[in-house]
Amino acid sequence: MARGEFALIDRHFRAVGALRGDVVLGVGDDGAILRPPPDHDLVAVSDTLVEDVHFPRGAAPRSIGHRALAVNLSDIAAMGATPAWSLLSLTLPAAEDDWLAEFATGYASLARAHDVALVGGDTTRGPLVVGVQVLGFLPRGRGLRRAGARPGDRIFVSGTPGDAAAGLALLQARLSASAAPEQAAELRERFEFPAPRVALGRALLMIASACIDISDGLQGDLAKLATASGCAAHLELERLPISAALAAIHDAEAATRSALTGGDDYELLFTVPPAHWPAIEALRGTVGMPRIAEIGVLREGEGVVLTRDGCPVPQAHAGFDHFA
Amino acid sequence: MARGEFALIDRHFRAVGALRGDVVLGVGDDGAILRPPPDHDLVAVSDTLVEDVHFPRGAAPRSIGHRALAVNLSDIAAMGATPAWSLLSLTLPAAEDDWLAEFATGYASLARAHDVALVGGDTTRGPLVVGVQVLGFLPRGRGLRRAGARPGDRIFVSGTPGDAAAGLALLQARLSASAAPEQAAELRERFEFPAPRVALGRALLMIASACIDISDGLQGDLAKLATASGCAAHLELERLPISAALAAIHDAEAATRSALTGGDDYELLFTVPPAHWPAIEALRGTVGMPRIAEIGVLREGEGVVLTRDGCPVPQAHAGFDHFA
């Protein structure tokens, strides 16, 4: 079959991603056959990007390919797991060769960087919707969850939340930063090509008491962790890690709001009991780790309490919710 | 969070599907944690249903929920695997309680019938697109593939292909059957609630040399099997199993065309070497097995050759192809 969806899939997606010895049968049959390592549990995540919801119409296809995989790798990271295999369900209004090539490049580069094979999926004509699933491994009986944090545990976050939301605003021209073009480019990059924190998640498996990735905004995702753990999360606003780029285009209040409620960061938000605080210091000195900031503490109670210099301040707007 | 997507997911999808002891952590965290059985390989399949492509606008939500899982279970069946876990990525224009309840009922009934748990997924606002992934098991090193058939193997098909395409035509009022209302209802049912052939696929693991499920039309899918196996498939038209319902609403030529090129059957098409033909006879006597018809033979060569009473006849229109 020299044309049609089968040829398309073949041409662009047959060689995408890492080559792995544990893929017994990859793309091209009714299903993939995969060989999990002994004494490990499997982690399965699934996340979908929809045009006009998760990325603007006309977004760069390389960024869409990257982000579709990145948001799933971020979920894998939040479980402390090691990613291995992915499936891609692509619904497209039209099969354009250039678009597919760029999309596949974005997907493939990130997949190879994390040793993830593309083992299956499907392609259909329709509105632009990109569904990805990633499978990974955990040593049997382990895994980071949203539940597990205890009063007294400190709260940490990787990277600099709020950058991606500002980057999206710049891409959509809802925000302009003509006086700071380099910083604006950095923020756009943070939206278009987020770095999933897989190595950090794996390292946290022995250290963190709970973990979640920030996809819907730091404050909203912290609330989910606090609820699952049955604690109150006290978030110390003066400790929020604001990037130099974000500070260059926003005043302090807008930067804080972006860091609290901006979505699409794909950073890890996690809690660490006192016995493991030295391990966080050690991680900070490790090559390849993102910035790690301590931003608060868990106490008895419920919900998120925002504080500045020890005093409570009013709640900002809650996290992103598609059906709010 | 008492509203929004999280509440929606909770209400309709938290208790969907089978309860399985190998689900360490199900819906509600960043990922699911699953425990594969030792000495087994994993099978992963992914298939997406798009409104106006895979089902008509306004289709019954219970049918959409059923079919979204059924098409994936059919892929699992075609590998000879046993299904275990599913993920559901639901993109919806609006969150309507009644629609979701019916959809969940369709999904859940079939999931329970096949002991499949729903372990994760996501819900997003957007055009109606239903992505499902199913994970299952195979004894290590086994599995049915499209490749593996040899000249001399006989070709078999389960059920009565062509019914679903006629059922869809009736649903869309492209076809009317006022003189045969019971048969019309039976055909619509075959489109709306296809029965994935999981038990048959598992039984074929020791018997068949190659297998594929018919989703895009018998003739087109037979061509894929023949190509993957490096053989020619001689399809004996006089042996095609035409259901009484299909024969009641179509003349012989239209019924044959529907059986050859109609999509959405989700039957198994498989090849069996001579040594295993008696095993097919035994299967035919087993409770719960669908009708199994012998419809042709593999020979040296390539492609699909249609014959009637031993003589070649011209090719009909090829299988369904979204990007043809």
Q: Decide if B146 and A41 are in contact by the 8 Å CB cutoff.
A: no
Least reliable range by pLDDT among A6-20, A32-46, B204-218: A6-20
B-contacting residues in A 195-254 (Cβ below 8 Å): 211-213, 223-224, 228
- β partners of residue A51: A55
pLDDT average, residue stretch B170-193: 92
Q: Which residues contact B287 (CB under 8 A, 6 or more apart)?
A: none
Chain A contact present for B10, CB below 8 A: no
Least reliable range by pLDDT among A175-184, A314-323, B246-255: A314-323
A4, A31, A44 member nearest B43 (Cβ): A31
pLDDT of residue A11: 78
> What is the per-residue pLDDT across B308-318, written as a single tens digit (0 to 9) for each?
998 998 775 44
B279 CA to chain A: closest CA distance, Å?
Answer: 24
pLDDT of residue A4: 62
Q: Per-residue pLDDT for B320 more than 50?
A: no
Top-confidence residue, B97 or A201: A201
pLDDT of residue B273: 98
Chain B contact present for A68, CB below 8 A: no
B285 CA to chain A: closest CA distance, Å?
Answer: 27
A213 CA to chain B: closest CA distance, Å?
Answer: 7
CA B198 – CA B73 distance, rounded (Å): 7
B226 CA to chain A: closest CA distance, Å?
Answer: 12
pLDDT of residue A123: 87
> What is the per-residue pLDDT across A104-144, written as a single tens digit (0 to 9) for each?
999 999 999 999 999 998 888 899 999 999 999 999 999 99
pLDDT of residue B321: 46
By the 8 A CB rule, do B233 and B225 touch?
yes
CA B214 – CA A177 distance, rounded (Å): 55
pLDDT of residue B177: 82
Between strands A232-236 and A292-299, the pairing is antiparallel
By the 8 A CB rule, do B123 and B24 touch?
no
Nearest chain A residue to B30 by CA distance is A75
pLDDT of residue A231: 97
pLDDT of residue A34: 98
pLDDT average, residue stretch A215-220: 94
Chain B contact present for A125, CB below 8 A: yes
pLDDT of residue B244: 97
Least reliable range by pLDDT among A290-294, A311-315, B96-100: A311-315
pLDDT average, residue stretch B160-185: 92
- A43 neighbourhood in chain B, CB within 8 Å: 31-34
Nearest chain A residue to B71 by CA distance is A30
Q: Per-residue pLDDT for B324 more than 70?
A: no
Q: Decide if B41 and A24 are in contact by the 8 Å CB cutoff.
A: yes
- Report the SS3 class of residue A261: helix
Q: Decide if A46 and B121 are in contact by the 8 Å CB cutoff.
A: yes
Q: Per-residue pLDDT for A90 more than 90?
A: yes
Chain B contact present for A135, CB below 8 A: yes
Q: Decide if B42 and A46 are in contact by the 8 Å CB cutoff.
A: no
Q: Which residues contact B112 (CB under 8 A, 6 or more apart)?
A: B17, B18
Residue B192 tokens, joined: 């709306």
- A5 neighbourhood in chain B, CB within 8 Å: 321-323
pLDDT average, residue stretch B222-228: 97
| Candidates B1, B20, B25, B30, partner chain A, best to mutate (most A CBs within 10 A) | B30
B138 CA to chain A: closest CA distance, Å?
Answer: 8
Q: What is the percent of chain A where pLDDT is above 90?
A: 80
Cβ-based contacts under 8 A for chains A and B: 223
pLDDT of residue B259: 96
Residue A210 tokens, joined: 């709970």
pLDDT average, residue stretch A200-212: 97
Q: Per-residue pLDDT for B10 more than 90?
A: no
Q: Decide if A48 and B122 are in contact by the 8 Å CB cutoff.
A: yes
A246 CA to chain B: closest CA distance, Å?
Answer: 27
> What is the per-residue pLDDT across A263-303, written as a single tens digit (0 to 9) for each?
999 999 999 999 999 999 999 988 889 999 999 999 999 99
CA B49 – CA A203 distance, rounded (Å): 38
> Which of B155, B295, B165, B291 minimizes the C-alpha distance to B217?
B165
pLDDT of residue A125: 87
Please give the mean pLDDT across all residues of chain A: 92
Q: What is the percent of chain B where pLDDT is above 90?
A: 81
pLDDT of residue B137: 98
**What ipTM was assigned to the predicted interfaces of this complex?**
0.93
CA A160 – CA A175 distance, rounded (Å): 19
pLDDT of residue A6: 58
pLDDT average, residue stretch B187-194: 97
B307 CA to chain A: closest CA distance, Å?
Answer: 22
Q: Decide if B30 and A45 are in contact by the 8 Å CB cutoff.
A: yes
pLDDT of residue A5: 58
Confidence of residue A321 (pLDDT cuts 50, 70, 90): very low
Chain B contact present for A45, CB below 8 A: yes
- B52 neighbourhood in chain A, CB within 8 Å: 126
- A56 neighbourhood in chain B, CB within 8 Å: none
- β partners of residue A55: A51
Q: Per-residue pLDDT for B306 more than 70?
A: yes
DSSP state of A290: P
Instruction: Tell me, rounded to whole angstroms, the distance of Cα B61 from its chain centroid.
Output: 18
Q: Per-residue pLDDT for A40 more than 90?
A: yes
Taken in order of first residue, the domains within chain A and their CATH numbers are 5-139 (3.30.1330.10), 154-312 (3.90.650.10)
E-state strands within B151-255:
154-158, 210-214, 232-236
Q: Decide if A122 and B33 are in contact by the 8 Å CB cutoff.
A: no
By the 8 A CB rule, do A36 and B34 touch?
no
Q: Per-residue pLDDT for B47 more than 90?
A: yes
Nearest chain B residue to A145 by CA distance is B29
DSSP state of A238: G
> What is the per-residue pLDDT across B232-241, written as a single tens digit (0 to 9) for each?
999 999 999 9
B54 CA to chain A: closest CA distance, Å?
Answer: 9
Sign of CA dihedral A286, A288, A290, A291: positive
By the 8 A CB rule, do B323 and B248 touch?
no
pLDDT of residue A308: 93
| Candidates A30, A35, A227, partner chain B, best to mutate (most B CBs within 10 A) | A30
